[in-house]
Amino acid sequence: MKGRCNRTMGIYNFRFIDLFAGIGGFHQAMRHLGGECVMAAEIDHTCLETYKRNYKTKDIRTDVRDIQPESIENFDVLCAGFPCQPFSKAGAQKGFQDEGQGNLFYVILDILDAHPEVKFVILENVRNLADKGENWDVIRSELRKRNFYITEEPLILSPHNFGIPQIRERVYILGIRKDIRDDTVLKNKYIHISDLKLEKLKNRNQCEMGTAWSVLEENVSDDYNIGDEAALMIDAWEEFRKGTGIGTVSFPIWINSFGLNIKYNKVFRRKIGYDDMPEWKQKFVDGNRKLYLENKVFIDTWVAHYNMLSRIKLYQKFEWNCGIDVDDIRDAIIQIRQSGIRVKRPTYYPSLVAIVNTPIIWDKQKQRFRKITPRESANLQSFCKDFEFVGSDNQAYQQLGNSVNVRVLQILGKKLFSLAREGWDKNG
């Protein structure tokens, strides 16, 4: 059934556009608040097909650079999760100097120039955008020129601040047209976090031990079970952890930093080029070497039993981030990364990312280690229960990794709209 996530639940009556729409996180949030999407734009073909599968929006465009702003129907709210690569640590961090994606922000400005009726702006980007003052200064000054009061400082929030078990810091930029503000609520010429009543939430972890399990589904297909070798390596490192008592160790464990079968520290250090290492890495090596010498008999036997030296490098690395809060690895969240097997407390999941690096859990019902499913990943992003994906599972993970969290945007949208005079939406 097309339009699965198109239900309206809110008390407002407004029209919005969804730029750089992805799979419609903004769309769902605005629909929850009563909005009608009059135009969406997304350049990725698979995301676009997923969008069409789930929403009834008639006017769907592809490349925002091809949009004539005057061709868009009148609307009240501009939503945009504009491209993050120019600001992301994973990219070159050129910001607005990026001649391609960095300049897409100016497409947003062109649309605002052609639509003076717009009342609100809601933008989202990676946390890194806030790290360079010049990027924030461009956004703030350009939106102010267009008659908007906006957030005084970059508003950095994560789903875990709201009790949603995912740590995913993002910058949210909220704007309200100056002439529609309720000056009994918004008294300054900017939006402060206290105006949004979010000061108690910012930087607060609302997720307790075990919150991570709240997104899991029952009767999950065996398709999501991890391979036998991966499962064996997780169990092997659990045996290592219990055999060496590393619950309080604060550094990653790397087998190649043990100095296996090397008796003297001087010989080991010379062999690995210790003196040429930076101080932080020397401390890391020292910790691993000390751990090995204190547990030599156990570790030598363990390495031989599991044939660890013949395993791929990522299986030779381990990081326990649970302290003494977790008794067994099967009660934790696991990721197998290029940096090794990483284990975290079951409070929240690491940020879903566009590159597939899916968290692993122990399914008590199946008695197997498995990846969390696309549906469970969608739960982490607060997507509606009957949302459907187009494409493979890997594409679904990528789509969600590039998406926004629906619940967070719903909360922020509602708080932003509350700053306006009563009746702002009567002609929505």
**Rounded CA gap, 202 and 402, in Å?**
23
CB contact burial 126-163 (16+ within 10 A = b; e otherwise):
bbbbbeeeebbebbbebbeebebbbbeebbebbbbbbb
pLDDT at 393: 93
Q: Give the pLDDT score at 1.
A: 44
pTM greater than 0.75 (yes/no): yes
Nearest partner of 169 among 348, 419, 12, judged by Cα: 348
Q: Are strands 317-320 and 253-254 parallel, antiparallel or unpaired?
A: antiparallel
Domain locations in the chain?
Answer: 14-207+390-395+404-417, 218-372
- Fold type of domain 14-207+390-395+404-417: Rossmann fold (3.40.50)
Q: In this structure, are residues 128 and 87 in contact, taking their beta carbons and an 8 Å threshold?
A: yes
Smallest Cα–Cα separation from 110: which of 152, 157, 137, 71?
Answer: 71
How do the residues of the chain divide into helix, strand and coil, expressed in percent and rounded to 5? 40, 15, 45
pLDDT of residue 250: 78
> Would you state the pLDDT for residue 372?
96
What is the per-residue pLDDT for 88?
46
Furthest CA-CA distance within the chain: 80
- How confident is the model at residue 6, as a pLDDT? 64
CA 40 vs CA 107, 170, 281: distances in Å: 14, 22, 49
Q: Contact at 8 Å (CB) between 129 and 105?
A: no
Give the pLDDT of residue 91.
Answer: 47
Distance CA 280, CA 271 (A): 18
Rounded CA separation 153/264 (Å): 55
Looking at residue 127, what is its pLDDT? 84
What span, in angstroms and rounded, lies between the C-alpha atoms of 27 and 184?
A: 30
Residues with a catalytic annotation lie at 84
Strand partners, 225: 370
Q: What pLDDT is attached to residue 5? A: 66
DSSP letter string over 85-154? TTTSTTS---GGG-TTTTTHHHHHHHHHHH-TT--EEEEEEEGGGGGSHHHHHHHHHHHHHTTEEEBSS-
Token reading at 119: 């009342």
- How far is Cα 336 from Cα 194, in angstroms, rounded to an integer? 40
Whether 78 contacts 108, CB under 8 Å: yes
Q: What is the pLDDT along the chain (428 residues), one digit of tens a residue?
A: 455 566 656 789 999 999 999 999 999 999 999 999 999 999 999 999 999 999 999 999 999 999 999 999 999 999 999 875 544 444 444 545 545 544 788 899 999 999 999 999 999 988 888 776 778 888 889 999 999 999 988 899 999 999 999 999 999 999 999 999 999 999 888 999 999 998 877 667 788 999 999 999 999 999 999 999 999 999 999 999 999 988 777 789 999 999 999 999 999 999 999 999 999 999 999 999 999 999 999 999 999 999 999 999 999 999 999 999 999 999 999 999 988 999 999 999 988 876 668 999 999 999 999 999 999 999 999 999 999 999 999 999 999 999 999 999 999 999 999 999 999 987 54
